[in-house]
Amino acid sequence: MSTLTRLDPSHLPAIIALHHRVIADLPPGNAATETDQFFADHLGACGQIFGVFDDDRLMAYCVLGLPRDGDPNFGTDHHLSPDLLGQVAHIDGVAVDPNWRGQGWQRRMVEHRIEIARKCGRTIALSTVAPTNFPSLISTVSTGLAIHGLIAKFGGNRFLLRRDIGPDQDAKSARAPDTAIWCASEDLATCRKLLDDGFIGQFCQSSGRGTAPRIGWAPLTSA
């Protein structure tokens, strides 16, 4: 099976081309449209980008953000204290060629970036996913990132996800507790109420092709 490799500035045109090819096929608001400069910056200055190839054709990429002092930081959306912002890693944008979808690449790319973030000394992994981006939501939550918030961002609604990845952090439970509360990812009113009541979205189950997955919520204290 193909392996993920770190990309460099020579791959920038291929990254941009795949990004726009994938964005064109998505419903409006499901993913952020990034600038060319965003990708250029994340090839070195404030992150890393990894990709996988079929011969010489880039078939998938994923962005790991390693924000510096003064860079935009997802931690501000989570109201992290300033002393924690330097520990944040962004599990940022991904794109997978339509011909390679359904092979588990999104999950693999999240796990790969978490491992690299650890090696870079980061202890808090943060991400954002649109409630209507069903494949990304299922893949991201399955790796242990839990929903801690819901805000307007990147031109639509976004779940705010977090996973603590320090050396003393345990992996999440593989099974939802019997006391979990379930709702569809598109039921934003219920999602907001549960978040306001101190729950986090720790689990996500597919509900069938084309329908919203179910999010399993548990109290933050049991996370």
DSSP character string of 32-53: ----HHHHHHHTTTSEEEEEEE
55: left (phi over 0), alpha (psi -120 to 50) or beta: left
Examine residue 131 and state whether it is found in any structural domain, yes or no. Answer: yes
Residue 28 within a domain:
yes
Least confident of 99-108, 121-130, 155-164, 187-196: 99-108
| CATH value at residue 20 | 3.40.630.30
pLDDT of 223 higher than 50:
no
The pLDDT score that the predictor gives to residue 93 is 93
Residue 183 is assigned to a structural domain of this protein: no
Among 12-16, 27-31, 95-99, 174-178, the range of highest mean pLDDT: 12-16
| Count of beta carbons in the 10 Å neighbourhood of residue 2 | 13
Query: Is residue 177 in some structural domain?
Result: no
Domain count, the chain: 1
Stretch 131-160: mean pLDDT: 94
Q: Which of 98-102, 135-139, 184-188 has the highest mean pLDDT?
A: 184-188
Q: Is residue 95 part of a domain?
A: yes
Mean pLDDT of 147-176: 87
> CB–CB of 178/209 below 8 Å?
no
Residue 71 lies in a domain: yes
Strand-by-strand arrangement of the 181-184 sheet: 5-6, 47-54, 57-65, 88-96, 124-129, 156-164, 146-153, 199-205, 214-219, 181-184
Q: Per the domain annotation, does 174 fall within a domain?
A: no
Q: Which structural domain range is residue 68 located in? A: 5-169
